[in-house]
Structure 1
Amino acid sequence: MKPKFSSLFSVFFFAMTIVYGQNKNSPKFDVKKQLEYCAVQASKTLKVIPEDGTSPRTVPNGSKEWKFVGYKDWTSGFWPGELWYLYEASGDKKWEKEADKFTRFLTPLSVSKAADHDLGFQVFNSFGNGYRLTKNAAYKDIILKTADTLATLFNPKVGTIQSWPHNKYGGHNTIIDNMMNLELLFWASKNGGSKKLYDIAVKHAEKTMNNHFRSDYSSYHVVIYDYETGKKIKGITAQGYSDESMWARGQAWAIYGFTMVYRETKDQKFLDFAHKLARVYLDRLTTEDLIPYWDFNAPDIPNAPRDASAAAIVSSALIELSSYTKDKNLKNEYLSKSKKMIISLSDNYQSREVNSAFLLHATGHKPAGSEIDCSINYADYYYLEALLRLQKLK
């Protein structure tokens, strides 16, 4: 049966209200203007990057100067990913040229021994976006090789990819961030790589779903498993406030990651789980502007640092999750809150004249005293992605 015109019209109208405001008195949120802002900021950053194969990672609080990192740093894929998104937004060959340049710096990762799980962040955000936009066969080859490299960290006795082989937790450790890197495996399995890569990604997601979450669906940062039996030993944190607290970015990775796994598998259990993860995040979000504190259980709330990176990740994830949501009220909630997050980031968290990043007030590793209330490239990357996804609702 063909859908009724009125039903199609209502969906179309809702998308328009999300992008343009709900009535003639509502201010229009200009996505194009925000994308142009990002392009201006990125152009400033390009002028200060050393010609040594490094890329910008963070601008410390109180500074205007970027700290640069080499290709082995876990964040090295976000800057070239931003450049690819700017190329996608504008079609300007300037961005393609710069994106290609910084992407190719990461080539050695595809032929080096896997040091940790971050290969997805590093290679799929760079080469992956590049291949999606250009179909450059050389990029595809790098992606496929890197997927095979990442798969070497999979422990079949446990059922997950080990996140930090160098870490001294006394067992097989898996962090929630790793959910994001499964996308590399899914893509490779469907584009010329081994079918085993798909199976590894699914097993990792299933094991994580069954072991990485508390009864309220809040996420542990790290879970330690026995190497031989695969039995869960304990859940802990590295970057959250405490082992039992809900670290904001960790929950963000979970929401985004399981939404992506549903997209790749179409397995309903992953979609149902993504809804539960989003529910606890949204229900516990008490800030009026919907930008979370770095940890939902931080003892110094409301004076605790915010984390713009978590908001950027969740805002992007909710747009995608809404597209798989049949419940009209829930779909409306995801889209309206996602838009409010993006508007809050745009109105009150942009770097503007402070530095040449896109956003301020991200928090990296609070317990270590590292990257607190600063600008960080992954906050910028997911903010830009969220803007593009919002634009595509049109």
Structure 2
Amino acid sequence: MKIITSTLLLCSLAFSSCHTDDSSKALLEKSEKQLSMLRTAALNEHKNPRTLTKDGHIHWIQSSYDWTEGFWPGTCWMLYEHTNDKKWKEAAEASQQLFESHKDLTTDHDLGFIFNNSYGKAYRITKEERYKQVLLDAARALSTRFNDTVGCIQSWDVDHGWQAERGWKFPVIIDNMMNLEMLFEASNITGDSSYRKIAVAHANTTMANHFRPDGSSFHVVDYDLETGKVAHQITAQGYSDESAWARGQAWALYGYTMCYRYTKDKKYLDFAEKIAAFILNHPNYPEDGVPYWDFDAPNIPNEIRDASSGAILASALLELSSYTDDKYLASAQHILDSLASDTYTAKTGENGNFILKHSVGSIPHGNEIDVPLNYADYYYIEALSRLKERGL
């Protein structure tokens, strides 16, 4: 196995040194111990942690909108469900209250990431009405970004920032598949099918226009607002327009597996399997199952890994395996074995008290390179929780 460390030096390790025989329960207990220290710091700061700065300090999310702000409370809710320790419920409630007012924002697509992963989990676990209402408010706000002509939810606004400089009109990113879960949930909760119809339309349009014949996905598709036709197929965070950005492929796999969960439409299951085949059979898919940041990065194997992509893949493959007679269970466990090893899991008290090392935000933007990320930990905990549900 080969990885790039924070100093970008290549380390050669035997894969056997990364294997762990710990059960999901044991790994959750180890993770809970590490995150307990981060919980204390977050409560003291009255802020949510996102990553580490270049000088090794915790980067705290400020009061302004941040697409990652729902992952920390979501992680706390999962740990509460695992431990039944009220300290995690208290931490989850305190952290999600910091951004509750964002539920009505109509200027970004990431309300699903934020509110389904926090208030959605809160409602599922506690059945408290106050959480349900916040979730439904966020679903209504997200629905306003759907365009009938295009058949998609718009990702970024293009009237400011670096997006405006690209000349895009209606950009849709593959990440947006993850926000559909909140819409499906809203229909299930209310009986209002309009949310589900938007989610299905977005999934179908994305399936038609975001993917290449081999099952790999473009990161961004820009649409013509007047005709609804594809204007550009491009990238913002991958190596090139024609490359397969690793986290984008993970979002796609997770998204279509989730769509099958809610619809039982076999075309989504078949499509998820096509995406899985692209990932798992790719010549640049590494031995330990933790992807390089882009499957087509030019200097593989001397490229940075992305543990966040690995964690998302593991969680998605676990769900996909439940629909396919455990076809992908071994692949998911293999990734989790690697993530649980000393190569990717920090020693207790290190790494700013985040669990996983070696994740990547956006290399083209020079942001969050080879650092811990709150969403890497979130999907790692989710994957372990799914494995625990199977008694493994």
How far did residue 52 of structure 1 move?
Answer: 6.0
Question: Which one of 372, 377, 380 corresponds to residue 374 of structure 2?
Answer: 377
The amino acid of 2:137's aligned partner reads: K
Partner of 2:300: 301
Name the SS for the 1:174 alignment partner. strand
Name the SS for the 2:221 alignment partner. strand
Name the SS for the 2:51 alignment partner. strand
1:184 aligned onto 2:182: yes
Partner of 1:318: 317
How far did residue 64 of structure 1 move?
Answer: 4.7
The amino acid of 1:305's aligned partner reads: I
Distance 1:254 1:125 in 2: 17
Q: Which structure 2 residues correspond to residues 1-394 of structure 1 after superposition, within 5 A?
A: 28-49=21-42, 53-60=46-53, 63-70=56-63, 72-111=65-104, 113-166=105-158, 167-168=163-164, 169-192=167-190, 194-284=192-282, 285-326=284-325, 331-332=326-327, 334-347=328-341, 348-352=343-347, 353-394=350-391
How far did residue 43 of structure 1 move?
Answer: 1.3
Distance 2:89 2:245 in 1: 35
The amino acid of 2:383's aligned partner reads: A
Which blocks of at least 5 consecutive residues in structure 2 are unaligned?
1-18
Name the SS for the 1:246 alignment partner. coil
How far did residue 29 of structure 1 move?
Answer: 2.6
Which blocks of at least 5 consecutive residues in structure 1 are unaligned?
1-25
Say how many residue pairs are matched.
363
RMSD between superposed Cα atoms in Å: 1.6
Q: Quick one: higher RCO (CA 8 Å, sep 6+), 1 or 2?
A: 2
The amino acid of 1:295's aligned partner reads: D
Distance 1:338 1:223 in 2: 29
* Fraction of identical pairs, as percent: 49
After the TM superposition, which of the residue ranges 285-294 and 164-173 deviates more from structure 2?
164-173
Distance 2:64 2:39 in 1: 17
| 1:80–1:27 Cα change, 3 Å | closer
Name the SS for the 1:223 alignment partner. strand
How far did residue 62 of structure 1 move?
Answer: 6.0
How far did residue 105 of structure 1 move?
Answer: 1.8
**Residues 172 and 221, structure 2, Cα contact 8 Å, conserved in 1:** yes
The amino acid of 2:273's aligned partner reads: H
Distance 2:91 2:20 in 1: 35
**Residues 114 and 149, structure 1, Cα contact 8 Å, conserved in 2:** yes
Structure 1 stretches of at least 4 aligned residues deviating more than 6 Å after TM superposition: none
Distance 2:335 2:184 in 1: 29
Partner of 2:9: none
| 1:181–1:266 Cα change, 3 Å | same
**Residues 106 and 123, structure 1, Cα contact 8 Å, conserved in 2:** no
| TM-score where L is the length of structure 1 | 0.89
How far did residue 63 of structure 1 move?
Answer: 1.5
**Residues 49 and 72, structure 2, Cα contact 8 Å, conserved in 1:** yes
**Residues 69 and 76, structure 1, Cα contact 8 Å, conserved in 2:** no
**Residues 351 and 372, structure 2, Cα contact 8 Å, conserved in 1:** no
1:340-391 residue CA offsets vs partner (Å, 9 max, x unmatched): 1001000120122333001000000001111000000000000000000111
